[in-house]
Amino acid sequence: MVASCKGICDLIRLKQLVRRPKRLPYLTHSQCRVCRIWFDKKELTSPRCPCCSTILAILPRENGKKRIYREKLHGIKH
């Protein structure tokens, strides 16, 4: 089964301006890679996109960028 955008994210975009955060967006937001919409982690009730039901991305795809986020998260926890 291939996930596809059902257009619900268009309604979400109308209700709120959902833009990519400026610096290190994955620390505070999750992204749906199908709908290309950003969700605030504090407001999420599920790890899935409300529009297409795919699992939200919590880290970038590139290994170098993942390393930066892991260092930041490690620094925050300790």
Where does the pLDDT of residue 3 fall: very low under 50, low under 70, confident under 90, or very high at 90 and above? low
Query: 31: buried, middle or exposed (CB in 10 Å: 19+, 13-18, 0-12)?
Result: buried
Q: Collapsing DSSP states into helix, strand and coil, what is residue 11? A: helix
pLDDT of residue 56: 94
0.75 surpassed by pTM: no
What whole-number distance in Å separates Cα of residue 55 and Cα of residue 48?
4
Residue 78 has pLDDT above 50, yes or no: no
CA–CA dist 23, 20 (Å, integer): 9
Contact (Cβ atoms closer than 8 angstroms) between residue 37 and residue 12: yes
pLDDT at 50 over 50: yes
Q: Are residues 69 and 24 in contact, defined by beta-carbon separation less than 8 angstroms?
A: yes
